[in-house]
Amino acid sequence: MRKGETAKIKIKKNYGFGSSLDPELLWIPESCKEGHLLDKLKWKGIIYEITLHDWVIRDDIEHDGRLVKIVT
């Protein structure tokens, strides 16, 4: 992505709200607890629109994850 660019990211419902195999682990936002929104969330994925505002360059100096140089 480039700075200022917007992208859509689709996430499966299992990753967005927890496991559908165990209803106790399924986390649903308060605004979608009832009605047609709940039905959509159970059967559809989640789509986020994200915009890249800025980024940070990080270099792993020793290639082991312990010493990292951050360029701002």
Whole-Å CA distances, 69 to 46, 54, 55, 57: 35, 17, 14, 8
What local confidence, expressed as pLDDT, does residue 25 receive? 63
Q: What is the pLDDT of residues 43-66, one digit of tens each?
A: 777 788 999 998 888 888 888 878
Q: CB-based contacts of 57: which residues, under 8 Å, 6+ apart?
A: 70, 71
Q: What's the pTM?
A: 0.46
**What's the maximum distance between 2 C-alpha atoms anywhere in the chain?**
54
Q: What percent of the chain has pLDDT over 90?
A: 14
Distance of CA 32 to the CA centre of its chain: 18
